[in-house]
Chains A and B, each alone.
Chain A
């Protein structure tokens, strides 16, 4: 498998990242659900990693994190670090396990959201932010993960559609084509 993302893919990912970050800041952040806001940015990173591989996932994570930190005047590098690791992890998951279940995006999205929220909180505590570890924080993490899980499937569909044909070859599709061409499952070979 060629792990170097094509320029077309990089361009699409960049455009999608900008759109999603601004949509997150302009719309999603102002619509609370169950008292918390959905965060599309970790979902974007994790799905790009899941569809494009670990390198693309890590680069996207770093870029999106930097964009978020710059746009929201947050501590530079903090979100980048968390998102880089998340994107890389999602890419490695694709490369090692290649999960094909329909609910994979849901579980990966939930895991990534939880990891992002926990990782971000941990980093903030490590940096000495003066805030107590409270039940409220725990509630925010749980509800945030739940809300992100709800939007994970539609977000995955959007990311896959946006990246479209620029994506690296789908391993499942590759296997299916190989089976047809080698005659194992092709109905034509039976004739």
Chain B
């Protein structure tokens, strides 16, 4: 079905120019508001990490846009009695750069209820950001710590493969694809005006 809405006849070129115009401002706002935007994501990540990986997660602390995930894995220094636990710093910005891209797309589309779409976008994308953060934490535990320490987590070979895939997918695909998919899904009428436009 082609819907002949008010956006019919909008050239792709003009839309791209509007996206380019919104993008710098969106990136500035996203970067400056990083710690505030990170807070709900930090809460979600803390909940997911503590619930799903309670055996390896001791605490999650937010420091601006960086989360410190403290594990239960103990590390000992040879020939001493010193002991500590492994903690991993993960950067929320690394997994949320799709937010300013999506904001620019939403604002450039000039569709009704843009503010509502922006808020919805944030909460829909938050779980994908959490995916990336938790996967990076697990990747560090499993692949970036000495074997003796990593073994404390008790992950099976299959679980290690799943963690590797989840990390790669969560860092290379989801941060940019999830916002694009959200935009396509929530701007179907706008996209149909493109499909009908031959100007």
Q: Do A and B bind each other?
A: no
